[in-house]
Chain A
């Protein structure tokens, strides 16, 4: 983002357009520096996947990738919402709890006999309003996002518990259909509707971030909120907006999660907000805000999923290695980000 700002004005100010313009482009590498983190994540994903394919039979198939998407469709949606928030320099800790609340509202509503489409709307509305309220508190009263969404985290999980402390299973035909239903792609690769929804959300998010005024303001607020405001951008609307989007994504992820689990439980998705944040960070989005891509977050989710799959395939490694590996990766990417930022300054 910085480099784009630095290189573009050069041709306008200089009288000799040829020499100085080429210089910054050839000085670096083939790819623009802003794409480097995403590329690094992609290379990491390919390397990890390659390792798995080389070591285990049946790993290196397209269906394994499809399974990664199936098992993590909800995390992709969650990470997309989180990317918006982190791009503005904020954070949303409430998303895991909102997922739990959504599964609970869905299961409870279906048990009460409400029609499935109404339930879907109800869940999405709950999450969106929840996000909107958090955004309003953060923006109107200038309170740190960390503490507001921490309260939101408590509140959403508490509400889920108040609906029922027990797990409620989902028996509705529509939900079961969404869960069992599959789309067969050419090459006999099977994906679920959840994956289709997640990838659609990703595509819409990419469009909004790069092709709309709202998206540009998101990057501007993350780069420098004060400057963005002085430029006349509607920073208030964007700040409230990103938390609303995150709340919407969290409730949608909750729906996908209830398709996947076919139950509502207040203890679902404990700590999932950390996975989402880790995916976004590993995907190359700067935590300070202003730089990053939703595609990176998708790659981040895939990297996390691959770690899990590798450990499952290995069979000898205990499950807790997943946590340690994710922590180590998180560390590596944070330190790399820091180094990149220092060099830029």
Chain B
């Protein structure tokens, strides 16, 4: 395989198509509205459509990073949207009830309590999946259904509005770039280092490829599975903070609604297989950007916003078909099909990704 050229490398990484999609979307936007690409510096903040994409895409990206690891272990977490709503509900309820609702102290304690609660939700999902052995889609469905009820229980069914500067920073603050995207990028970099510079990434992939075999090989697959659900819940929780802080209010019915689907979409676009095993964090980053750009494009071109759903459906189907071996075998012609049988030198798909 031609991994020596940059293009060949992208191709084997599976990053080529997401990049092509992203660039194509950006080009469409620039043609439709040339001011799209302009970025201006005002009061030490960067402004522009591109920055907006980053800011609005930050929660999806964060949730998608957590989801990537869950999907790599052959799981799925449907409860992230509900988790985000619960975190938003706890934080705002605490801040409003605190003796000094405008202080930074109230904001920090509120967020800390919410994130601890959110880690517990992750522990709960992880327990159902790794200890009780329930299928992930169903185990997390429980919290998806009950979670919004819990969030409404916390806020007593009300939309809670907060006025706290320290809290607003998470979702609406700027340090040159929006704080929310800085948080997401920091998590991304941290995750890449932890999973690719240590054995953790490979362990997660091995659990996803064959949980039983990896357990017999001495990997604590149960702990790893448990851990990824806690991590996914924490990511969802911080995303919930970003969403509520951006609008300074929480509506338990709508915070993080459908974010699980967007996150799964981002992961799939990024080339991580839903069957578990190989995962690509860079792919997920691109996937989240593609989805957010797609949404922005639809608004930008003046198409009815609801049409986004149709575009998303088309993207998911196209990506899934491109990934499906049976579809490729029938419709995509390649000089060398990358099946293990024809590549005797690379028996397992795992090692090829480790050095990323």
Contact = CB atoms under 8 A, between A and B. Distances in A.
Interface of A: 91, 137, 140-144, 146-148, 150-155, 157-159, 161-162, 165, 266, 274, 277-278, 281, 287-288, 318-324, 326-328, 330-331, 334-335, 338
Contacts of B143: 327
Nearest to A155: B313
Contacts of A144: 274-275
A338 B133 contact: yes
B153 A320 contact: yes
Contacts of A328: 146
Interface string B121-150: 000000010001111011101111111111
Contacts of B144: 274
A287 B138 CA distance: 8
Interface string B261-284: 100100010000011000000000
Contact of A327 (B145, B309, B313, B317): B145
B151 to A, nearest CB: 8
Closest 4 CB pairs of A and B: A327-B146, A323-B149, A158-B309, A161-B306
B196 to A, nearest CB: 26
Contacts, number: 126
A320 B148 contact: yes
Contact of B134 (A152, A323, A338): A338
Contact of A281 (B138, B147, B149): B138
B326 A277 contact: no
A266 B324 contact: no
Contacts of B306: 158, 161-162, 165, 266
Interface string B143-168: 11111111011001100000000000
A148 B308 contact: no
A141 B150 CA distance: 39
Nearest to A326: B145
B76 interface: yes
A66 B314 CA distance: 42
A150 B264 contact: yes
Contacts of A331: 142, 146
A323 B148 CA distance: 7
A99 to B, nearest CB: 15
Contacts of A152: 313
A326 B312 CA distance: 30
B309 A148 contact: no
B337 interface: no
A321 B149 contact: yes
A144 B142 CA distance: 21
A91 B137 CA distance: 10
Contact of A154 (B141, B275, B312): B312
B146 A158 contact: no
Nearest to A94: B313
B313 A151 contact: yes
Nearest to B268: A147
B108 interface: no
Contacts of B311: 158
Contact of B142 (A141, A155, A322, A327): A327
A40 B347 CA distance: 49
Nearest to B320: A143
Given A274-B145, A326-B145, A335 B132 contact: yes
B145 A162 contact: no
Given A320-B149, A320-B152, A142 B142 contact: no
Given A334-B138, A334-B139, A154 B149 contact: no
7 contacts: A143-B324, A148-B320, A158-B310, A159-B310, A161-B309, A331-B142, A338-B133
B313 A322 contact: no
B189 interface: no
A155 B152 contact: no
Contact of A158 (B134, B139, B275, B308): B308
Contact of A320 (B157, B274, B304, B310): B157
B194 interface: no
A126 to B, nearest CB: 15
Nearest to B325: A142
Contacts of A158: 306-313
A283 to B, nearest CB: 14
Nearest to A159: B310
A321 B157 CA distance: 11
B321 interface: yes
Contacts of A141: 320-321, 324, 326-327
B183 interface: no
Nearest to A287: B138
Given A146-B76, A287-B135, A277 B141 contact: yes
Contacts of A146: 76, 137, 274
A319 B148 CA distance: 11
A335 B327 CA distance: 37
Contacts of B134: 334-335, 338
B150 to A, nearest CB: 6
Interface in B89-145: 128, 132-135, 137-139, 141-145
A137 B317 contact: yes
B316 interface: yes
Contacts of B153: 318, 320-321, 324
Given A147-B268, A161-B304, A327 B310 contact: no
Nearest to B312: A154
A155 B309 contact: yes
